[in-house]
Amino acid sequence: MTLRKAAFALAIPVALVATALLAGAASSGTAKIGSGKQTAAKSVCGLGNGKKATGTPIKLGALATKQPGTDFTDIPNMALAYFNCVNANGGIFGHPIQYDIQTEQTDPAQVASLAKKLIETDKVVGLVGNTSILDCSVNHKYYEQKHFFVIASGIAPECYGRGDTNISSVNMGPRYSSDGAVQYVISRGVKKIVFDQSNVPGTGYIQTGPNFVARAAKVPIQDFTDNVPIQDANSVALKLVQAAGPNGGVVLNFTPDQAALILTAAQKQGLTTKVKAWGCSTPCNFDFLAGVLGAPWEGIFGVNAELNLTSAPGPDSVLYRQLAKSATLAFGLSSFSQMGFVEARIATAALLNMKPPYTAPRVNAAFAAVRNFRTDVLCSPWYFGKVSVHIPNNVDRTVTPGGGKMVLKQPCFKISAADPDIAAARVVERKNPQLTSGKPYPLTGRK
């Protein structure tokens, strides 16, 4: 998911809506959730036996950014809800998972210190759900030294194998999600693309991908950055539409609140149809934004979606929605909490497929061994493996506003290998077919 942007706090009404929805859902109770037999039509938590785990805990940890304007804790908080369900359903063959969430405020020294605290003081044996602006950049060498294989939500380049092989993310991050949004507007037949993002560190790395994709399609692209919070959305919207022209397309890489400012400003000025198409990276994939924009944007506005619709009917998606009722979520049902669910599910499967003792070397070896992990939340199998590039999420969808929520516009498609990072990931997958093919990774493990 495009988490690089530093301000994920939505307007107050969004938080109020999410809180109200979760409160109403919680009143229905969560008894017996995640129990029963795992079948093609039903997903369960861990062993799914309905028995509380009472053995020696297995300690896992996570590091997430939480500060004014930037809160990624929905991801580990959703992982916690999943682990709680696992503990209520037999744990890891009787051992409950103890989950330690640490938050940081984008101070490199603090980020390094908290990683060491988790591993050396708290003695966690694995890291699951790390979602920090600085973690991959600051700590990837430390994780290598400690032989920790981190199941994460990526932001920085190091989260995807640039100089590191010990981190694998369930999302594709800002650059590759923007690639997908650019592919959408190209599919609409635009003659020029305007790409705009918030003016924060990392913009050069991010815009490189969309530029490769556009140039491979022989479509001119012009890059912009705007300071956030945006002070004059009307001017920004007009600037972008004029730069794109009537046969052009505009692609945004902003947080939902800032993107909404630009899009609603365009609508108020009658600019929605003055270009051929609008696109956005994954942060725009919120039903609240679809409701704000309304019918004028249906079909013309395509949002790259790294994970499935939160309303999807698949068994994992059903279990995700059930468990979200008991989770502490700032944004309700969203791609953020979907990431935490998938990360916890992967880690649980790895633990159920290994034999004790649950030491750090053995647990991390189990994490690293995960391959061909399948879930209806992702378009393609997820994998770790000891390979040079980790971009397992390189196939995703496009969604568009429809009836006040996001609906499917384009089914699963490959992110363009015109981006050399994606091309490198595809080479890794071709050379290691076991990562994405063959027998699916078992979910319930040894007997």
What confidence tens digit (pLDDT) does each residue in 338-364 have?
999 999 999 999 999 999 999 999 999
Full-model pTM = 0.87
- pLDDT for 199: 84
53-70 burial code (b ≥16 CB/10 A, e <16): beeebbbbbbbbbbbeeb
Q: Using alpha carbons, select from 298, 210, 283 the residue that is nearest to residue 3.
A: 283
Residue 26 reports pLDDT greater than 60: no
Count of all residues that appear for the chain in the document = 447
- How far apart, in Å, are the Cα atoms of 12 and each of 67, 124, 291? 16, 36, 15
Angle (CA) 96-383-74 rounded to 5° is 55
Distance separating alpha carbons of residues 45 and 305, to the nearest angstrom? 25
Classify 442 in phi/psi space as left (phi over 0), alpha (psi -120 to 50) or beta.
beta
- Where residue 289 falls among pLDDT bands split at 50, 70, 90? confident
Instruction: Return all residues near 173 (Cβ < 8 A) that are at least 6 apart.
Output: 1, 2, 3, 4, 154, 155, 159, 160
- pLDDT for 69: 67
- pLDDT for 60: 98
Q: Is 347 helix (H, G, I), strand (E, B) or coil?
A: helix
Q: CA 15: distance to chain centroid?
A: 19
- pLDDT for 446: 64
- pLDDT for 127: 98
Tokens of 95: 């051992």
Distance separating alpha carbons of residues 36 and 424, to the nearest angstrom? 41
- Let me know: does 47 contact 93? Beta carbons within 8 Å: yes
Residue 4 reports pLDDT greater than 60: no
Q: Using alpha carbons, select from 399, 397, 353, 398 the residue that is nearest to residue 372.
A: 353
